[in-house]
Amino acid sequence: MTELTRRPATQGKSHYSNGLVLAVAPMIDWTDRHCRYFHRQISRNALLYTEMVVADAIIHGPRERLLSFDCDEHPVALQLGGSDPVKLAEALRIAGPYGYDEINLNVGCPSDRVQSGTFGACLMLTPEVVADCVKAMKAVSKVPVTVKCRIGVDEQEPVEALPELLARVLDVGADAVWIHARKAWLKGLSPKENREIPPLDYGIVYRMKERWPEVFIGINGGIQTLDEAAAHLEHVDGVMLGRAAYQNAGILADLDHRFYGAPAAEPDWDGLRDRMMAYVARHIESGGRLQQVARHMVGLFAGLPGARRYRQILSSDAAKAGAGPEVIAAAFAAVDFSGAKEALSA
């Protein structure tokens, strides 16, 4: 496994003090440390989230494997899953020395595995429990404590459920709220269907911002492009990109310029290639496999000439015994980068 270094989170200044935040959403099985390192090479400013890590796993499991990350990932937030305030506070104490920039409580995941543990989206039904969890986490945290939720679950009326949840967590000091603008149907829909079938209601998220203008409120769900992100920022403080950023990471290439004032420039694809090759070399040297990193890079050049061959190389050659950084070089060599910036930001 890659030798991972740590750096303390920024003290005294939250990323939420910058006025707006563009983030890549926490996604189970996707946003592991290799994915986050890759995304950070494309955008220096996007806020990155871990996969959800269950509090019990941190307390009783392999802490170093669950919590370690490369210092280049900053700013990076740890998303916790749980419903026991005492366990969440203990997990946060354990995670504290690792130097995350934010701790986020998952109140939105609809999977059966999460429901069986009585956390995730089903916590929308017990906002008082969520408030108790946030209060306990705030008591031990040196960095912002935030909540990521849905607009409601099952038969709940979002116009009632969402503001009640927000009122409770803000009353106990939550520093920000990220809202996935869909209901979660815990009865009858799979996690995949819950990302696609319940209709999006961006308007209710906008109304929460109007109700709490002094609070950071970010939006998530179905946002495909940076143009769409810019439109949402007319109404809320932050935008969280999910599958769009993972399946076509190239859209992150213009994020720093459009939203953080970085100079306009052509993406440095050669530099990205070289940095990922060096990262892979370190990972393999410490016992890892190329495929663990390469699987997150497959969608990078969607829509460009040569992207199909790029995907084939990373998907097939990276899985072969003894595969090394040269596979990444071969994949990049298959892509025609002329017009790449315009194609990827469209």
Active site residue 109: yes
The residue from 35, 109, 122, 133 that is catalytic is 109
Provide CB contacts within 8 A for 118, sequence distance 6+: 83
Dihedral sign for Cα 127, 66, 141, 204, please: negative
Q: Are 65 and 32 in contact (CB under 8 A)?
A: no
Is residue 5 within 8 Å of 71, Cβ to Cβ? yes
What number of residues does the chain have?
A: 346
Beta bridge partners of 25: none
Show the CA angle centred on residue 26, arms to residues 127 and 31, nearest 5°. Answer: 155
Task: State which amino acid sits at residue 67.
Answer: L
Locate tokens 């409120």: which residue? 217
Contact 77, 146 (CB under 8 A): yes
Provide the annotated active-site residues.
Answer: 109
